[in-house]
Structure 1
Amino acid sequence: MDPRVLDRLRCPVCGERLAEETVGTARALRCPRRHSFDIARQGYVNLLAGRAPHVGDTAEMVAARADFLAAGHYDVISAALATAATDALGRLGAPDAPPPIEPSVPDFEAYPLVVDAGAGTGRYLGAVLAALPDAVGLALDVSKPALRRAARAHPRAAAALADTWQRLPLADASTAVLLNVFAPRNGAEFHRVLHPAGTLLVVTPDTGHLAELVSALDLLRVDPDKADRVTGSLGGHFTLVSSSAHRAELTLGRAEVASVVGMGPNAWHTDPAALAARLAALAEPVRVTVAVRLDVLRPR
């Protein structure tokens, strides 16, 4: 594991620092109290403290997401995050930026850490790191199929199995930028791991997102108040700095429509047989709107 990321990790059981050890062909992270966490051969480390209440996205959902994102259909989101993260790191180095809470974190400004909480395949983290040549990254997710891909998302990225609802396996104030894209949010933990001058970037569906498919395929509808509720839920720990809308118009075939449905929450809530029938009835090409909101928040 990249030592620049390892320096920021902490044991999820006792909070001590972690070090990498190799025994034969097996690798693991261990703390001074000998709590041990295996590094899978695919490159991610399991940093769960106990069992997660859910296993996250399935292999089928992850494969659908990987195919859809690789085609560039959500690059509007990647570009918005990369721009916002670049702006955030510029603020981090400002003369009036607060000092780190934990100054023992080595090379904080030399190697700022970008964390993607609920990273999925790591596509967005990879795009942000590509725009930030001095940063390192960490993908956190509870889905093993997703982490197998996230571990290869970028040469400067590491990946760890972790539940967003538990204590995150990171040092206090260790993170410069925290990404949260269509994923659960733990405001208290996000606040703890972010540098006082750090930035939280939250992407949520906006009104009109995939609207052309909602009626045609009987999909879940976007709550028109969702973005405001998300911001409100973080209000005790963060201040909203800015909010921007990002849109794109896609032209998709049926297979791509099936991927965008299968990669998200609709995969859990849609009857496969009924969905297949509705997909077969769609006239190609299918025009689909991408509409998201990007909120930039800073710790209180």
Structure 2
Amino acid sequence: MWVQPWNDTSGVQPSVITHLRCPVCRGPFAAAERALRCPQGHSFDIARQGYVDLTAGRPAHTGDTAEMVAAREALLAAGHFAALTDAVREAVAREEPGPVVEVGAGTAHYLAAALGPGEVGLAIDTSKPALKRAARASERIGAVRADIWQGLPIADQSAAVVLDVFAPRSGAEFARVLRPGGALVVATPAAGHLAELVDALGLIRVDPAKQERLHKSLDPHFVPSNARNIRAPLTLSRADALALVAMGPSAWHTDPGAIKQALETMREPIAAHLDVDLTVWRTR
């Protein structure tokens, strides 16, 4: 369902615009006719679908394809990752109210679930197909195309929470945009995540050094304050299992036809497990 924009001129809620910064000069934005414009005259059009592109250049990666986004939206809407969604919501709810920024937000499923009453969110991604859906996820979410490796177009110390679910991480940028006392909430796949499908279909395995890489990226700027593991059974149809493959990193490295053929040999329902580590971090 299309969400009516908050502002008939810009299509972006003023309380979202105030947290954005020009990617060229770092100046604040004001709403213009279907655009955002900074005092230096840099102007960025707002797409008809409701998101604004603040990459100011070609991003290093264009993000998920339309097919990957559609698969993710269908699987999440069916509630298969509800245990993770609930855990993310609970972690954010324990923090002080304020703007929530999700990096690598995709369809903004987790961000929309995590927003408290009256809170606004910023969904950051490089995928245009994902942002089209993120812009419709909630009328309190602003969808922004930006590449974390080029720097987030967000004001210093403006976010109460930064959310990162299976997404790239930049400790320096996360620390910069978080308010004092704010929290970084990170979800990463644990060793057993979807292991049944990984074994049966030859999918990409979770990197054994994932926790080591997580700490290497965040330790210079953050200290961990809380951690929990979310493990839940999944009961999948063949279509669900195909969507799981299609929405993740294995989609770039597998043959969809071969995966579909392999799934045809598996009896329904197909059993698998969600296995995710959820960590909360504080700035040093």
TM-score with structure 1 length normalisation? 0.89
Q: What is the alpha-carbon root mean square deviation over aligned residues? A: 1.0
Identity of aligned residues (%): 56
- What residue in structure 2 maps to residue 231 of structure 1? 215
C-alpha separation between the residues in 2 aligned to 1:254 and 1:272?
Answer: 13
> Secondary structure at the residue paired with 2:196?
helix
C-alpha separation between the residues in 1 aligned to 2:205 and 2:13?
Answer: 41
C-alpha separation between the residues in 2 aligned to 1:231 and 1:88?
Answer: 22
**Residue pairs, 1:144-163, within 5 angstroms:** 144-163=128-147
C-alpha separation between the residues in 2 aligned to 1:275 and 1:228?
Answer: 31
Pick aligned residue for 2:30 from 19, 29, 33: 19
Contact 1:119 1:180 in 2 (8 A): yes
Contact 1:227 1:293 in 2 (8 A): no
Contact 2:170 2:217 in 1 (8 A): no
C-alpha separation between the residues in 2 aligned to 1:233 and 1:32?
Answer: 34
* 1:66 equivalenced with 2:73 (yes/no): yes
Pick aligned residue for 1:187 from 171, 179, 187: 171
**Residue pairs, 1:116-155, within 5 angstroms:** 116-129=102-115, 132-155=116-139
C-alpha separation between the residues in 2 aligned to 1:231 and 1:297?
Answer: 11
> Secondary structure at the residue paired with 2:94?
helix
- What residue in structure 2 maps to residue 204 of structure 1? 188
What are the superposed Cα offsets for residues 107-143 of structure 1, whole Å, 9 maximum, x if unpaired? Answer: xx6xx110000000000000001xx103110100000
- Once the two structures are TM-superposed, the CA of residue 88 in structure 1 deviates from its matched residue by 1.7
Q: Which residue type is aligned with residue 100 of structure 2?
A: V
What are the superposed Cα offsets for residues 209-246 of structure 1, whole Å, 9 maximum, x if unpaired? Answer: 00110111000111233134212321000011111000
What are the superposed Cα offsets for residues 135-165 of structure 1, whole Å, 9 maximum, x if unpaired? Answer: 1101000000000000011121110000111
What are the superposed Cα offsets for residues 170-196 of structure 1, whole Å, 9 maximum, x if unpaired? Answer: 110011100000000011111111112
* 1:81 equivalenced with 2:88 (yes/no): yes
Contact 1:8 1:171 in 2 (8 A): yes
Q: Which residue type is aligned with residue 75 of structure 1?
A: A
Q: Which residue type is aligned with residue 55 of structure 1?
A: T
- What residue in structure 1 maps to residue 46 of structure 2? 39
- Once the two structures are TM-superposed, the CA of residue 280 in structure 1 deviates from its matched residue by 1.4
Runs of 4+ more than 4 Å apart:
none
Gaps of at least 5 residues in structure 1 are 90-108
C-alpha separation between the residues in 2 aligned to 1:227 and 1:122?
Answer: 25
C-alpha separation between the residues in 2 aligned to 1:28 and 1:155?
Answer: 18
- Once the two structures are TM-superposed, the CA of residue 276 in structure 1 deviates from its matched residue by 2.2
Q: Which residue type is aligned with residue 55 of structure 2?
A: L
> Secondary structure at the residue paired with 2:148?
coil
Q: Which residue type is aligned with residue 110 of structure 2?
A: Y
Gaps of at least 5 residues in structure 2 are 1-11
> Secondary structure at the residue paired with 1:149?
helix
- What residue in structure 1 maps to residue 16 of structure 2? 5
Q: Which residue type is aligned with residue 86 of structure 1?
A: A
**Residue pairs, 1:234-253, within 5 angstroms:** 234-253=218-237
* 1:30 equivalenced with 2:56 (yes/no): no
- Once the two structures are TM-superposed, the CA of residue 272 in structure 1 deviates from its matched residue by 2.4
TM-score with structure 2 length normalisation? 0.94
Q: Which residue type is aligned with residue 112 of structure 2?
A: G
* 1:113 equivalenced with 2:96 (yes/no): no
* 1:271 equivalenced with 2:252 (yes/no): no
- What residue in structure 1 maps to residue 158 of structure 2? 174
- Once the two structures are TM-superposed, the CA of residue 21 in structure 1 deviates from its matched residue by 0.6
Contact 1:205 1:227 in 2 (8 A): no
C-alpha separation between the residues in 2 aligned to 1:71 and 1:145?
Answer: 20
